[in-house]
Amino acid sequence: MTQPRTLGTASAAGIAVDNPATGEVIGQVADSTAEQVEAAVARARRAQPGWAQLTPRDRAKLFTRARHWLLDHCQEVVDSIVAENGKPAEDAIVEVVYCVSAFAYWAKQGPRLLATTKVRSLSPFVLGRGMFTRRVPRGVVGVIGPWNNPLINSFGDAIPALAAGNAVVLKPSEYTPLTALLMVRMVRECGWPEDVFQVVTGAGTTGQALVDTADFVMFTGSTKTGRAVAARAGERLIPCSLELGGKDALIVLADADIERAVNVALHGALVNGGQMCTSVERVYVEEAVYDDFVSRLEKRFGELTQTRPAGLGSTDVGAMTFPPQLSTVAEHVEDATDRGARVLAGGNPGPWPGRFFEPTLLVDVDHTMTCMREETFGPTLPVMKVADAAEAVRLTNDSQYGLQAAIVSSNTARARRLAEQLEVGCVTINDVQTNYMALGLPMGGWKESGLGSRHGAEGILKYTKPQAIFVNRFPMRRDLNMLPFDPSSYRFLLRLVNALYGKRWPFGKN
């Protein structure tokens, strides 16, 4: 690398950001203190009521401007993502596409999902009452994001929070803060109200300070940090939504189109250099098609390119963004080979001077190996032969994680039945990761992969608190149950309950 330094270490000058594909320092950002975070949240709190009072139509207009800005500045945003993350331009384009479509989706669906609803009840005890549920913004939402997707897993989560009438303070990863800062420029140039969206750059302590001050925390990152965030949110009694790590499995059934299965495995494991929470991190293949699947996959691994990402078509697999991740990946491969796995492709650090790891295909793996149990978060793919679908289901569920899983089969009805046996938040059938673009479909992990959901109705409702309104439209001077107690009223009440819900007819007949 051209400039050795300790990445992510704060100094008086702030935090240096490097290009993982070259090692060059490409920017410097502030390491915001707790006081600075507190001040940003205070400004957001002042700006929020005005934002919430805008009509959905007015907010939608500002979203449209931002959408157009993103498309007009697509190249600049893609370049920023590529430079700070080390991913291919194609992977970065997907991030822009997601945010553009998210602006359109939440502007349109938000008002419908957040509209005040009338509640109907058949209970005789609330006869004549009007009942309504309205959704109230939480106030200031703190969004904390990881480094693997500098745009979608941080700014992308701010979009529904803003659509719901909240102000947002975003803390991007200290390794990839530059694209988030571009979003600050975007909202300014689009004429958004001051302080409705802000970014505080900094390290983990900056994130902690945001959890200490926000009204709701939307966190994406590792399970370890997620636990710390949840514990602190619990102390403050504020809600949080957690999108955490994963160990997603792919099940290839004997009746699968093997070419499709190979493409699903290759893309699922290696897109974004395998640094996706939803990466395929292990494959279970039914015995009958195992040899065919593995030999085709091996050939395809050998055809992949890996070099410094430049424009479109420059590379298939990019760099490792987070420096320690390179050692984690190497350790998982070494542990697997020590225990008897074979490396069919890759297995070593990739081209100098960046932080690369070769696309690596492992076979003869089992569940004693860390590569089958712990999140690797890199361009590796362990493939295991299984006797049948039941064994694949059992092994898929043998994990502390429960984010996503995929099944490839030509019998989609059978695949759906198997999907219902999997302990994960989403199962894609003959597909991989595309569900992230389905904003109407919940996306969230089970088990240690998270709490809450980022898409679907819950993806915006979580940014609001429900307020119930209960209206007695025809009030009598005094209800029967009111003080002072009248025993005959309560006798009548008991008879009524018996009549409605009891076994016996209380008025003489059975």
> In the complex, which residues of this chain contact ligand NDP (CB under 6 A)?
144-149, 153, 171, 173-175, 203-204, 207-208, 211, 220-222, 225, 228-229, 243-246, 277, 322, 375, 377, 403, 445, 450
DSSP, collapsed to helix, strand or coil, labels residue 212 as: helix
Instruction: Decide whether 121 or 327 has the Cβ nearer to ligand NDP.
Output: 327
Active site annotation includes 243: yes
Which residues does 464 contact at the CB level (< 8 Å), separation at least 6?
Answer: 114, 135, 136, 137, 138, 164, 165
What is the helix, strand, coil percentage profile of the chain, to 5? Answer: 40, 20, 40
Q: Shortest approach of ligand NDP to residue 146 CB, angstroms? A: 3
Q: Shortest approach of ligand NDP to residue 171 CB, angstroms? A: 6
- Identity of the residue numbered 94: V
Residues 507 and 81: their CA atoms lie apart, in Å, by 75
Residues 114 and 135: their CA atoms lie apart, in Å, by 6
Q: Which of 240, 277, 371, 426 is catalytic?
A: 277
Residues 170 and 112: their CA atoms lie apart, in Å, by 26
Instruction: Decide whether 167 or 233 has the Cβ nearer to ligand NDP.
Output: 233
Active site annotation includes 277: yes
Helices (H) and strands (E) in the chain — how many of each? Answer: 15, 20
Which residue has the closest beta carbon to ligand NDP? 207
Instruction: Decide whether 221 or 346 has the Cβ nearer to ligand NDP.
Output: 221
Instruction: Decide whether 32 or 409 has the Cβ nearer to ligand NDP.
Output: 32
- Identity of the residue numbered 241: S
Neighbouring C-beta atoms of residue 47, cutoff 10 Å: 19
Q: Shortest approach of ligand NDP to residue 414 CB, angstroms? A: 28
Q: Which of 84, 95, 174, 243 is catalytic?
A: 243
Q: Shortest approach of ligand NDP to residue 201 CB, angstroms? A: 8
Half-sphere exposure of 458 (CA within 13 A, CB side): 12
* Angle, helices 56-72/155-163, rounded to nearest 10 degrees: 160
Handedness of CA 385, 386, 388, 390 (dihedral sign): negative
Q: Shortest approach of ligand NDP to residue 410 CB, angstroms? A: 30
Q: Shortest approach of ligand NDP to residue 169 CB, angstroms? A: 12
What residues are labeled active site?
A: 243, 277
